[in-house]
Structure 1
Amino acid sequence: MTHSTVSPHRRKLLLGAASMLAAGAAPALPALAQDTPVVIGVGADPVFTAFFVAANEKLFAKHGAPNVTVQSYTDGGEALNALVANQVQMGCAGEPTHIVRLSRAELRPLAVTYQSKTYVKLVARKAIASADKIRKFGIVAGSVSEYVTGLTLKTLNIDATKVEMVRSGPPELPALLARGDIDAYFVWEPWPTLGVQQGGHILMTSGDVGYTSTLWLSATAPWLAANKAVAGNILKALAEASEITRKDPPRAAQSVQAITRIPVPQTLNSLKDMEPIVRDFTETDVKTANAIGDFLLSKQAIKAPVDMSKILQRGFYKG
């Protein structure tokens, strides 16, 4: 569902500009750009804590981006769909989620806003004692879930032809596991914890198969070209919010609850597995992104190879 109504603040800007033009004076474009409403699309779980902290504690305005709204969607994929459709101006999601959408829009990842080796976990039925016993993997296609599952097969030398991949959305995975429809699934919190509550157990984390998950904050190329200063200020606000989250998790969890209604204990539990941080892309990030691109190409999730060194905006965030 999209909303086409003009905000009162925006209406004042438009009316003000019209009256100035009628009087023969043109408004200063940079000032208008600075005040232009910016909606950031994010998922609705604690990996996006820094965004909720920045919104709740008014850090965007503090850092020179006074008209920013954080809009939560079911997950990062839906947030990026909104970005591709120009329903939001910026969006945050994981690497595969970005790469599969590059053919639909000129996305420009600006910085990393989170990293973790343990937030993505492999949950299995109690009867499964080791990953090589898994015959049915639940996966969220075209996401970190599918990529890390592929890494698991490769790392442990499991014959992929003997493993069935069962596609699902994240919320359905714990129930599929409980019913025995799948043996295991590799996915992000809170779905591993919910799987354990329904009788499963944790076998490993993404770090065990050599993967550190990251989230990227992105804009479309046309929007970024006209709003570089605003984008930079937004990252500064998120950097402060990330620092607050690392130093004072209960304070951060209160902001998450205020905006998303996620209970404080759930956020605190999730924060143990992640590092909210705003940083520039590294050479390792580029290599990982290219490896994910190759994997998605092999699965025909994308049509052509992508050189991520040309997509990631290294150096945009100075930190």
Structure 2
Amino acid sequence: MEARARRRRLVGVLSLITALCTLSACSGATTDSGGAAATGPKIRLAVGIDAAYAPFFTADAKGLWRKHGLNVELVQFGRGGEAVDAIAGGQVQMAASSDSTTIAQFPQNPGLRALMVYQESGRYLKVVTGSKIANPAQIKKMAVVPGLSELAATRFLESKKIDVKSVKFVTADPPEIPALMQKNEVDAYVLWEPWPAKGVELGGKVLEPTGAYGLAYQQWLITGQQWLSGNEAVAVKVAKALEEATGLVESDPAGAAEATKKAAKVPTEQTLTAIKEIDFKVRDIAAADLKGYESTAAWYASTGKVKSKPDVTASVLQGWVTAKVKGTG
């Protein structure tokens, strides 16, 4: 009787394990929503944590990675430069990053490749000044984040005929910057949302968007040449999923905001505002874009932040979407 009891207990345990596996534990892990398991090799894709990355979170929420035969894990970073470094270090295979931030990385990471533009705007980044600043000429300290923020601050000062060398740049992380301005430790900054709105909450004011002085940014999908050489078909699938996702962001802002809130804890209103201010669309990097890229590369070289002027033409793949993505299955 004791032996029969042990056998019954064993059968019960095995039945429980089988049931659990059937429900979830034995299915493939993926960040895609939905019940079906992801397919294909795991792709780690680096993104940021603000509303500008809504297409990636939307692709997750709507199961678009899986629809295109992908197994994508989104890895969130606080700074675009960290995401770029993660490609060079092999931690991720692809990343989303601004053009200016990535260009600074080309000299030390010549294998980086920019595949396409998936968003652009001259309205999303804004100049914020403290309550005591009545005129830009009064600015003596500006908080900056290396990369796009610092470039935008430089171009702002130049547009106002202010000697850039007369203003001290204070490097900080985005969440710290509005408080630095409130405490009068800096006079101004140029950042993407939600940090301009946070600055206004703390007594500052938005002076103008970067487009008012001729600066627009782009966000690229980037990867490394070594990975791309053996996985271009996979990269094409990622591009096609993002093409669909950017369309959904534009056509269904509420759905994109919900996905972004769930994935990155971004309040709904922030994402809805961002969608109004950003043009989300997958497109080729074109010859017309190169002038702006070359200007950014020359700025990095002039500041001594890089040892040599970044080789933009070797690192951006013009026409990749048209050549590789359009008309493919």
Query: After TM superposition, is the score higher than 0.5?
Result: yes
Task: Select which of 296, 300, 307 maps to 1:296.
Answer: 300
1:273 — aligned with what? 277
2:231 — aligned with what? 227
Question: Could you say what secondary structure the match of 1:113 adopts?
Answer: strand
Counterparts in 2 of 1:170-181, with a 5 A limit?
170-181=174-185
Counterparts in 2 of 1:46-65, with a 5 A limit?
46-64=51-69
Number of matched pairs: 288
1:144 — aligned with what? 148
Equivalent position amino acid for 1:70 in 2:
L
C-alpha displacement of 1:8: 7.5
Mapped pair 1:259 → 2:284: no
2:200 — aligned with what? 196
Equivalent position amino acid for 1:75 in 2:
R
C-alpha displacement of 1:9: 5.0
Contact 2:45 2:92 in 1 (8 A): yes
Equivalent position amino acid for 2:106 in 1:
L
Question: Could you say what secondary structure the match of 2:290 adopts?
Answer: helix
CA–CA distance in structure 2, aligned partners of residues 8 and 90 of structure 1: 25
Task: Select which of 303, 319, 323 maps to 1:315.
Answer: 319
C-alpha displacement of 1:104: 3.1
Question: Could you say what secondary structure the match of 2:120 adopts?
Answer: strand
- Give 5+ residue unaligned stretches, structure 2: 1-25, 30-38
2:128 — aligned with what? 123
CA–CA distance in structure 2, aligned partners of residues 284 and 181 of structure 1: 40
Once structures 1 and 2 are overlaid, which stretch shifts more, 97-106 or 274-283?
A: 97-106
Counterparts in 2 of 1:232-243, with a 5 A limit?
232-243=236-247
**CA deviation map 1:35-58 (0-9, x unaligned):** 221111000111010011011111
C-alpha displacement of 1:103: 2.9
Contact 2:56 2:245 in 1 (8 A): yes
Counterparts in 2 of 1:18-167, with a 5 A limit?
35-64=40-69, 66-105=70-109, 106-141=111-146, 143-167=147-171
Contact 1:121 1:188 in 2 (8 A): yes
C-alpha displacement of 1:263: 2.2
Stretches of 4+ aligned residues off by more than 6 angstroms: none
Contact 1:122 1:187 in 2 (8 A): yes
**CA deviation map 1:264-318 (0-9, x unaligned):** 2221122222111111112232111111111111111111012312211111112
CA–CA distance in structure 1, aligned partners of residues 165 and 234 of structure 2: 49
Contact 1:84 1:104 in 2 (8 A): no
Contact 2:287 2:318 in 1 (8 A): no
C-alpha displacement of 1:131: 2.1
Q: TM-score, normalised by structure 1?
A: 0.86
CA–CA distance in structure 2, aligned partners of residues 86 and 71 of structure 1: 13
CA–CA distance in structure 2, aligned partners of residues 56 and 260 of structure 1: 12
Mapped pair 1:305 → 2:309: yes
Q: Percent identity?
A: 33
Question: Could you say what secondary structure the match of 2:113 adopts?
Answer: strand
CA–CA distance in structure 2, aligned partners of residues 298 and 173 of structure 1: 26
**CA deviation map 1:76-127 (0-9, x unaligned):** 2222221121101001111222122223321001001110111111000122
2:33 — aligned with what? none
- Give 5+ residue unaligned stretches, structure 1: 1-6, 11-33
Contact 1:131 1:203 in 2 (8 A): no
Q: Say what the alpha-carbon RMSD is for the aligned residues.
A: 1.7
CA–CA distance in structure 2, aligned partners of residues 261 and 159 of structure 1: 39
1:216 — aligned with what? 220
Equivalent position amino acid for 1:252 in 2:
A
Question: Could you say what secondary structure the match of 1:236 adopts?
Answer: helix
Q: TM-score, normalised by structure 2?
A: 0.83
1:3 — aligned with what? none
Contact 1:43 1:78 in 2 (8 A): no
Question: Could you say what secondary structure the match of 2:150 adopts?
Answer: helix
CA–CA distance in structure 1, aligned partners of residues 196 and 280 of structure 2: 20
